[in-house]
Chain A
Amino acid sequence: MTQSDARSKVRAFLEKFIRDQDFEDGDNVFALGLVNSLMAMQLVLFLEKEFGVKFTNQDLNLKNFRSVDSMVELLGVRGIIAAV
Chain B
Amino acid sequence: MRAQRERRFRAVADEATPAIGAYIKRRIYPLSHADVDDLVEEVLIIAWRRLDDIPAGAEVPWLIGVARNVLRNAHRKYRRGEVTSSRLAAPHHDSSAEDNVIADEAVRGALESLSDDDRDIVLLHAWDGRSAEEIGVILGITANAAAVRLSRAQDRFRKNFAEVSVG
A and B, one complex?
no
